[in-house]
Structure 1
Amino acid sequence: MRILFLGDVVGNLGVDMVDQYLPKLKHDFKPQVTIVNGENSTPVGRGISYKIYKQLMNDGADVITLGNHAWNNEEIYDFIDDSKNLVRPLNYPGKDVPGSGYTVINVNGKKLAVINLQGRIFIDPIDDPFQKIDELLNKIEKEVDYVFVDFHAETTSEKKAMGLFLTGRASAVVGTHTHVQTNDNQILNNQTAYITDVGMCGPFNSVLGMKYDSIIHRFLTQRPTRFEVQNEGDQILSGCLIDLRDDGTARSIKTILIDPSHPYNR
C-alpha cells in the first residue's frame, strides 16, 4: 500500500497549494490513500471550515486529520459528527467529545486505521496519548491490516518516543504541528515508517505560516503581538510518501518538498 501524506495546511495559500499540486502528486505517485492535515486551513490559520473540508476532499484527500486547533472554528461542531473521514485527536478528555479520534477505511480489500493524536509537552495538556493509543490498538489491531498515526506534537523527544513506542504496532508514525520538515525520515526496526515532522503547506516567506514582521517584533520587545497568516507571496508544500508491505510493515518513507528552491519537475 502506498500512502501520500501532506502536512499542516495553513491559510489560503496552503489550500491553494493543495488544490494546485495534490491532483498532480496523485497522478504521478499513484497512492492508494491520501491523508492531509487540515487543522490550520481557515484563512486565519486556526481550525477548518466545512467549505475547506469539502474542497480538500474534492482535491483528492481520503482522510483529513486535525490537531490542537481542531475546535478553533466553531463551525466544526456542525459537521464533524457527520464527517467520518475528518479525524480529531483521539486523546481529548471526556466521554462526549464530538467526532472521532480515528477512522478505518477499506483499500482494495485491506483495512487501514488512520489515527490522530496530540502531544502534551508545550501544548494543551490533554489526556495521555501513549495510554490512549495503547488502549485503541488493543481494541482494533487484530481487525485492521495497517495503522497510520498523525502525531500532532511540539517536541522532537515526544514524537520520537511515540514512534519507538509504536514500533511494530503502527505501520507509520508521522509528526505534524511544528511546520518545518525534518530530515530524519526512517524505518524504525525495519517495521514502522517515521518522521519527526512532515512540514506544512502554505506561505513560504513566513514564520510557520504567520507574517514575520509581527513575530520579529514580539521577539524584540517581548510584548504581546497579534499573529496573522501570511496570505500572499511564495508558497510551500511539504509531505511524504510511504510504501507499506502486505504484512503491515513499512518498506520506505520519502519526503516531498515543493517551494521556490525545490520546484516540482516530475
Structure 2
Amino acid sequence: MKVAQKVAIVTGGGGGIGGAIAERLAQLGASVLVADLDPNAAAAIADGINERHPGSALAEGADIADPEQIRRIIERAETEFGPVDLYFANAGIGGAPGLDADDADWDRAFDVNIRAHIRAAQQLVPTWIERGEGYFVSTASAAGLLTQIGSATYAVTKHAAVAFAEWLSVTYGDRGIRVSCLCPMGVETKLMRSGEHSGDPLGVAATRAVISAGEVLQPAQVADIVLDAVDRETFLILPHESVLGMYRQKGSDYDRWLHGMRRYQSSLLENA
C-alpha cells in the first residue's frame, strides 16, 4: 500500500519504534494520529512532526487496551483527517520474570500485547471490508517466533500477537485487508532496557539475551524497514535477518533448539 494521502493511527507512538513509524509516515505524505498512554509523549512526537510537516499529526493520550478509548482515537482521526486506512498496533509492555507474574501481570500483558490488537481489528475490519481496503500492522517481536528468556508473559503474548496477525491475514486477505507482523529483536528502546533495571536475575538475563543475540537497531532504522514492507505488502517483517535462520533451526529440530536455549540461558544467568 502506498501511504501517501492515507490516514494512519500509531499506538505506542510516544517514542521508540512507534514514534519513528509516525515520523516516517508523515515524511511519506500520510496523516497520522499518535496515540500513547503518556499524553505528553504523544504530543511531543506530534508537535515535532507538525513542525516538519504542518498539519500532518494529531496526538491522543489513550489506554489502547480499552475498547472505548480505541473507538475514541479512531473517531478523532476520522473527524480530523478522514477514514482510517492503516492501524499500527505497536503499543506493548514487557512483564514479570518467570512464574512470579501474578494474575494482574498476566491480564495486563494480554490486554496490551494482544487483546488491544483484537479490539482494534473488531472495530476497523468490518469498515475496511465495506471499503475494500485496509491495513493492519501488528508489532509482535522475535520473541513471538522464538521465545523470550526471562519473561513468560512477554513470550506468550507475543506468540499470540503473531498468531492473531496470521489468522487475520488468512481470514481477510482475499477481501482487501492487508496485514503485516513486525518481529524485531534488539531495538534501542526503554522496553528493551527494562529487564536490566528490574533487579531480578531473569530480567537482567532477558535484556542481555536480546543485546547479545545480534545488532541493536535504532527505531528509525526499524521504521524504514516497516514502511518499505508496507509498500510491498509483506506479511512477516524481520529487521534482524538472523531471526529467520533461528526460526528455521527451531522448526527443524525443536528438541535441539530447546537444549541450546537452556544452555544459553544458563550462561546468561551465570553472569547476571
- Which structure dedicates a bigger proportion of its chain to helix? 2
Which TM-score band applies after superposition, normalised by the shorter structure? 0.3 to 0.5
TM-score, length of structure 1 as denominator length: 0.43
- Which structure dedicates a bigger proportion of its chain to strand? 1
- Structure of higher RCO (CA pairs closer than 8 Å, 6+ residues apart): 1
